[in-house]
A = this chain, B = another copy of it.
Amino acid sequence: MSTHDDGPSKAAPQVSDLTIENITQNAKLVNSETANARLKFLMDKLIDHLHDYIRETRLTTEEWTETIRFLTSSGQICNDVRQEFILLSDILGASVLIDALNNPKPPNATESTVLGPFYTEDAADVANGESIASPNKGEICLVLATVKNTKGEPIEGARIDVWETDGNGLYDNQYEHREKPDMRGRLTSNKQGEFYFKCVKPVSYAVPTDGPVGGLLKALHRCAYRPAHIHFRLSVPNSDYDDLVTALYINGDPYITSDAVFGVKKNLIVDANKVNDIALAKMYEVNEQDWLIRYDFVMTTKKETQELL
C-alpha cells in the first residue's frame, strides 16, 4: 500500500523527536511497509552501517557537505565511456569483494576479477590467428590460450571477448574520436579448446585521475596505477558453464603488487617472454622479437558454483 497520495498510513510508525539514540531504529521502521523483503533487508543494513559510521567518526557537517559534493560531481563526470562510481567502488575494494562473493571458484579453476568500466558490446569477431588491434598500436604480442573445464576437457565453441589498452595505456573509447572498436575482439575456441590471437603487449596505466576519485587517491597518497593486463570475458552459449570475467596480469610489472583496484590474483599472473622460436614465429606469423603469452583458462559449471555459494 503506497502512502504517497493517501496521507500517512495508519500502520506507519510515528517518527518525530528523533535523537542520536533513536534515529536508527525509527529510520528502519519506516521502511517496513514494503512487501520486498530483500529491499527491506538491504535498507536496514545500509541504515545501520551508515548511522554507525556517522556516530563512530562523529562526522562533521563540513565533512558531510564535502561528501555530498564528492558524490554529486562523481555522478556528473560520468558519461558513455566513463563511470566514476565504478572507479570509486574499485579503489575501495568493493568491486573485487563483490566479485569474490558472487563468483567463488574451486581451487583448480581460473579466478574471476573485476570487469572494469571499459568493456563494450561492439567488439568485432576475430578469427584465430588474427590481431585484435589495428597496426602500430604498440608492441606485438601473441596469445596462445586454451579453454577447458575442471576435468581438463577442452571446451569447443566458447566465445571469448578480449579487450585491452593500446601501448599508451588508453582504451579505444578513451579517445575523443572512436570510429570503430580497436584493441578488442571476440574469438571462438576450436575443437581442441584453443584460441589464439595477436594483440598489443599490455602496459601499466593510471586510472582516470582528473575527477573526484583521482582527487581522493591523491589526498590519500595512493598509487593510481594498474599493472599491465588483458581483459577476458568467456562464455559458452547454451551450456551449463558459468560466464568467466577475468584478466591476465604480466609478471614483473612494477605495479603487480600495488594495483589501484586490487584486481591481481596469483592465479592470473602470466609471463610475457619474447617468442624466441623461429618455427613458432613462422607458424603464427610473428617475429622472434615479438612477445608471447600462454594461458590455459579453466571454466566452471553453474552447478560447481552453486555448490560453493
Taking Cβ atoms with an 8 Å cutoff, the residues of A that contact B are 1-4, 7-9, 12, 14-20, 23-24, 26-27, 30-31, 33-36, 39-43, 45-47, 49-61, 63-64, 68, 71-76, 78, 83-86, 89, 92-102, 206, 209, 217-225, 254-259, 262, 264-267, 269
The CA-CA distance from A91 to B206 in the complex, in Å, is 37
Residue of B nearest to A117 (CB): B68
Pair B97/A20 contact, Cβ less than 8 Å: yes
Q: What residues on B are CB-neighbors of A262 within 8 Å? A: 15, 18, 23, 26-27
Q: What residues on B are CB-neighbors of A220 within 8 Å? A: 30-31, 33-34, 39-40, 43
Interchain residue pairs A-B with the least CB separation, the first 6: A75-B75, A27-B93, A8-B258, A16-B264, A14-B257, A33-B221
Pair B94/A64 contact, Cβ less than 8 Å: yes
Pair B8/A97 contact, Cβ less than 8 Å: no
Residue of B nearest to A71 (CB): B85
Q: A4-B206, A42-B63, A71-B74 are in contact. List 19 more A-B contacts (CB 8 A).
A: A1-B221, A2-B221, A3-B258, A7-B255, A9-B223, A15-B262, A16-B256, A16-B266, A17-B264, A17-B267, A27-B262, A40-B220, A43-B220, A49-B52, A54-B97, A61-B99, A68-B89, A75-B75, A76-B78
Q: Could you say which of A50, A222, A256 has the most chain B C-beta atoms within 10 Å of its C-beta?
A: A222
The CA-CA distance from A76 to B36 in the complex, in Å, is 27
Instruction: Determine which of B8, B24, B36, B39 lies in contact with A93 in the assembled complex, contact meaning CB atoms within 8 Å.
Output: B24
Instruction: Determine which of B2, B24, B52, B55 lies in contact with A218 in the assembled complex, contact meaning CB atoms within 8 Å.
Output: B2
Q: From residue A216, how far is it (CB to closest CB) to chain B in Å?
A: 8
Copy tally for this chain in the complex stands at: 2
The CA-CA distance from A26 to B92 in the complex, in Å, is 10
Pair B68/A17 contact, Cβ less than 8 Å: no
Pair B50/A45 contact, Cβ less than 8 Å: no
Q: What residues on B are CB-neighbors of A19 within 8 Å? A: 100
Q: Can you name 25 A-B residue pairings with CB atoms under 8 Å?
A: A3-B221, A8-B225, A8-B254, A14-B258, A15-B257, A15-B259, A16-B259, A17-B264, A18-B100, A23-B96, A26-B93, A27-B92, A27-B93, A30-B220, A30-B222, A33-B222, A40-B220, A43-B220, A45-B56, A45-B57, A47-B92, A49-B53, A54-B94, A54-B98, A72-B83
Q: What residues on B are CB-neighbors of A60 within 8 Å? A: 98, 102
Q: From residue A31, how far is it (CB to closest CB) to chain B in Å?
A: 5
Pair A18/B61 contact, Cβ less than 8 Å: no
Given known contacts A4-B209, A223-B4, A262-B27, is B47 in contact with A49 (CB within 8 Å)? no
The CA-CA distance from A51 to B256 in the complex, in Å, is 23
The CA-CA distance from A22 to B193 in the complex, in Å, is 34
Residue of B nearest to A25 (CB): B93
Given known contacts A23-B100, A100-B23, is B57 in contact with A94 (CB within 8 Å)? no
Q: What residues on B are CB-neighbors of A224 within 8 Å? A: 3-4
The CA-CA distance from A223 to B225 in the complex, in Å, is 45
